[in-house]
Amino acid sequence: MWPIRLSWWPFALLAALTAAWTIGWAATLADLILAASVALWMLAPHALRPDWQERAWVRMTFCVVLVLFAAVLVLKNPLFGFFTPVAYFWAFRLVGWPWQLVAVAAVAVVAGTAQSYGVDRTTLGGVALWAAVVVGNAVPLCAYAFVARQADRQSDEREQAYRRLAESLAENEALHEQLLAQARDAAVRDERQRMAREIHDTLAQGLTAIISQLRAAETAGDEWRGHVATATELAAESLREARRSVHALRPEPLSTARLSEELRGVAERWSALHGIPVEVTTTGPARRIRPEAETALLRIAQEALTNVAKHARASRVGVTLSYLDREAALDVRDDGTGFGALPGTGGFGLISMRQRVESVSGTLEIESEPGGGTGISARVPVEAEVHA
């Protein structure tokens, strides 16, 4: 509902009608006191505290008394029928639905009485005419009140819809922030896993090989220099790999050599270090592979060979790179001791290989049996273009 605000025009209209009453109809002192009372009553709500003005019964009382004053004025002088717009004004502004229809109808009775002042209401015809005039006032104004109510309801519904939309947008924004936070946390975890894999596949393997060479140098007699030189070369290579891992770059050899050539180089260095022959085979025309997928295959080959050296006690190893229509497959097989089942809490190497290949939408399969060796197969997608 609208607040009760002081407006000048009801007082001006009341003053003009009272002046015409005094001049044209010789209003008595009682009549002037009545008009003054109406003016004071219209001022009364403004003396109340704002919280009282908002109370429904205060608004209703104000309108009821004002309509009664208007009725008395009309009965005194039909000229005050022109005052009924003031009563309509406050009925529309202050009375809530559905009592607004009652208030408007009451004002219509007062207005109709003023308009049919000269009708003889002691006869049935006169009463019928008076009733027709009252209905003629009440119907359109009550219809207007109904239409206004529907418009207000639609406005309230739109406002509620806008409020719900704003709340939904706020919730979506909060959810978006939450998803961003979760994405950042996931990125941090992924980066930690990536660095763990890089450290395991470069520094850890390199340090293990260096330690092996230095221990061999202790008992090598005059041949210690060869082991130390090998350890020095391994240390330099591990340092280069560590720097590449820190900068999240693909391994340096892959920027200038094909994956098959790099696999061959890794196998030859591993074979020379451990004294186990490795046969490297490439089948199919070379296909374009994403750099991160090439890196994953190279790291998986390195880790598989490291596991062979640590656990398999193999006499030979085969590394096969196969270019198929939609994927590239890397198979590393040995004739070592094998194992019956994958350990439930296996070393980080197997976990690292699986995480690497899954991070590039690939798959990893491990086959092994006691005394029958082990086979590791990694597959990654390839692009449509064929290398020339």
Q: Is the pLDDT of residue 85 over 80?
A: yes
Which residue do the tokens 């961003």 mark? 180
> What is the structure's pLDDT at 321?
95
Distance CA 68, CA 41 (A): 11
Is residue 285 within 8 Å of 248, Cβ to Cβ?
no
Q: Is the pLDDT of residue 130 over 50?
A: yes
DSSP codes joined into one string, 155-199: HHHHHHHHHHHHHHHHHHHHHHHHHHHHHHHHHHHHHHHHHHHHI
Q: Is the pLDDT of residue 229 over 90?
A: no
Q: Where are the domains of the chain?
A: 8-166, 257-388
> What is the structure's pLDDT at 329?
94
Q: Between residues 125 and 335, which one has the greater pLDDT?
A: 335
Summarize pLDDT for 167-216 with one digit per residue, the tens: 888 888 888 778 867 766 775 676 676 666 666 666 666 777 777 767 77
Q: Is the pLDDT of residue 94 over 90?
A: no
Q: Is the pLDDT of residue 319 over 80?
A: yes
User: What is the greatest pairwise CA distance in the chain?
Assistant: 145
Percent of the chain whose predicted confidence (pLDDT) is above 90: 12
> What is the structure's pLDDT at 233?
73
Is cis: bond before 3, omega within 30 of 0? Answer: no
Q: Which CATH number fits domain 257-388: 3.30.2400.10, 3.40.1190.20, 3.40.309.10, 3.30.565.10?
A: 3.30.565.10
> What is the structure's pLDDT at 232?
80
Distance CA 197, CA 295 (A): 12
- 363 to 88, 183, 200, 259: CA distances (angstroms): 81, 24, 20, 18
Read off the pTM: 0.44
Summarize pLDDT for 133-172 with one digit per residue, the tens: 888 888 888 888 888 888 878 888 888 888 888 888 888 8
Mean pLDDT over all residues of the chain? 80
> What is the structure's pLDDT at 386?
44
Q: Parallel, antiparallel, or unpaired: how do β-strands 327-334 and 363-368 relate?
A: unpaired
Give the distance, in angstroms, between the CA of residue 86 and the centroid of all CA atoms in the same chain.
52
Distance CA 27, CA 25 (A): 6
Which secondary-structure segment (H or E) carries 278? strand 278-283
Question: What are 320's strand-pairing partners?
Answer: 281, 331
Question: What are 381's strand-pairing partners?
Answer: 327
Q: Is the pLDDT of residue 249 over 50?
A: no
Residue 89 pLDDT level (bands cut at 50, 70, 90): confident
DSSP codes joined into one string, 282-345: EES--B---HHHHHHHHHHHHHHHHHIIIII--S-EEEEEEE-SSEEEEEEEE-S---SS--TT
> What is the structure's pLDDT at 28?
83
Residue 388 pLDDT level (bands cut at 50, 70, 90): very low
> What is the structure's pLDDT at 156?
82
Provide the token pair at 384: 């449509």
- 379 to 217, 265, 308, 349: CA distances (angstroms): 39, 21, 20, 17
Distance CA 284, CA 104 (A): 93
DSSP 3-state assignment of 265? helix
Residue 345 pLDDT level (bands cut at 50, 70, 90): very low
Distance CA 83, CA 78 (A): 10
Q: Is the pLDDT of residue 346 over 80?
A: no
Cβ-based burial of 288 (10 A; exposed 0-12, middle 13-18, buried ≥19): middle
> What is the structure's pLDDT at 218?
73
Summarize pLDDT for 1-45 with one digit per residue, the tens: 545 565 788 888 888 888 888 887 777 888 889 889 988 888 877
